[in-house]
Amino acid sequence: MREYGTYSWRNPWFRWSILSVCGTTVAAVMVGFIWLPSVQGDFSAQGLWASICRAAGVPQEWGERPDNAQRAGSTTSVVLDQAMTRPGASEAAGRGATLALQQCTMCHGVRGVSQTSVPNLAGQYAEVILKQLTDYRTGARASAIMQAMAKNLSARDVSDLAAYYALLARLTPSSEAAAAGPVPPLVNSADAMRNIASCASCHGGVDHKLGAPWLDGMPKEYLALQLTAFATGERRNDSYAQMRNMARQLSAAEIDSLAGFYARR
Ligand code: HEC
Ligand code: HEC
């Protein structure tokens, strides 16, 4: 038997140890960077490259291509800020009222309360209106009607409209209607097994989280449609996918009862 040098390629031990190290590395890369990220929920939303970056722990801005916020399918580009919640100057609200009368009341109602399945805007938090209109403008939130409406609004129009609608009186709940049905458990208690926080901890009742819309009195069809759209990922403009992650865990019956509950209030 011939003797080879320890580090010679013709030494089978040396050759196979190198090949097995390479093989293991390739397999680990495939699993960690391709396979695992690809089975995560939002894989297709941001593409393979974003998934690889996320798997490697790279901060999002590095992996993101500059046009990402503009691409349909990406999440929001709006960074919420407490300053957005301050009621605008009366001049801003006055200008917003004029714009609303010309462009919005036919669908959202004269006083911001709609009679159809269009969402109410009266008393909606200013930062919510700002964020949602901006998301329609950039295409981060898809809606043929609202994207066409928002495209024609300037940044100032958007903030004036937000100031105006935030000042309008909310629908006053009728106490009989509110008492007419059961309170779904998720409204007030979290479900730790499914990683769902109570709705009231963000949407008012217990606490209000910046950017979480006022839901009480919204049309039931609208609420159910939005929850379903979050669940399927069709709507994906919620920062950090917080609504998508929860909505995905809800059954159709839960969506129906939650939408019914908020619509009754
Ligand atoms: C032709 C009817 C129509 C007109 C006109 C219209 N909207 Fe809408 N609006 C809708 C519909 C329908 C939706 C729900 C779209 C969806 O499912 O995302 C909506 C959604 C919104 C939302 C999101 C509400 C929420 O709770 O997330 C805001 C904000 C909004 N509209 C503001 C406006 C403003 C401001 C104007 C006027 C400049 C306007 N809309 C004009 C039909 C209309
Ligand atoms: C961690 C905070 C948080 C919790 C808990 C939460 N939400 Fe949300 N929700 C949000 C935020 C923030 C948005 C706005 C997302 C965006 O920016 O478009 C939202 C949006 C929504 C919308 C869309 C409303 C509109 O007008 O567009 C509905 C409907 C909704 N949530 C229902 C629920 C229900 C029902 C629950 C309880 C099962 C719940 N949410 C729990 C934070 C939360």
Ligand 2 atom closest to Cα of 242?
1
Lowest mean pLDDT among 2-6, 109-113, 208-212, 260-264: 2-6
Angle at 143 between CA 139 and CA 145, to 5 degrees: 115
Ligand 2 atom closest to Cα of 250?
38
| 8: confidence class by pLDDT, cuts 50, 70, 90 | confident
Mean predicted confidence (pLDDT) in 98-125: 95
pLDDT at 112 exceeding the cut of 60? yes
Residue nearest to atom 39 of ligand 2 (CA): 199
Q: Quickly tell me which residue has 């691409």 as its tokens.
A: 71
CA of 150 to the centre of ligand 1 (A): 9
CA of 210 to the centre of ligand 2 (A): 11
How far is 241 from 245, CA to CA, in rounded Å? 6
Neighbours of 29 (CB within 10 A): 12
CA of 178 to the centre of ligand 1 (A): 25
Mean predicted confidence (pLDDT) in 101-114: 95
Q: What pLDDT does 259 receive?
A: 97
How far is 7 from 13, CA to CA, in rounded Å? 9
pTM comes to 0.78
Average pLDDT, the chain: 86
With a 6 A CB cut-off, is 213 part of the ligand 2 pocket?
yes
Ligand 1 atom closest to Cα of 213?
26
Kindly report, residue by residue over 156-200, the tens digit of the pLDDT. 999 999 999 999 999 876 666 667 788 999 999 999 999 999 999
Q: Which residues line ligand 1 (CB under 6 A)?
A: 103-104, 106-108, 118-119, 121, 129, 132-133, 141, 143, 145-146, 149, 161, 213
Ligand 1 atom closest to Cα of 124?
26
- CB hemisphere CA count around 94 (13 angstroms): 3
Calculate what percentage of the chain has a pLDDT beyond 90: 60
pLDDT at 237 exceeding the cut of 70? yes
Mean predicted confidence (pLDDT) in 11-20: 88
Helix 252-264 / helix 220-232 crossing angle, nearest 10 deg = 140
Domains in the chain, start-ordered, CATH in brackets? 12-63 (no CATH), 82-167 (1.10.760.10), 175-264 (1.10.760.10)
pLDDT at 51 exceeding the cut of 70? no
How far is 102 from 174, CA to CA, in rounded Å? 30
Kindly report, residue by residue over 33-49, the tens digit of the pLDDT. 777 766 665 554 556 66
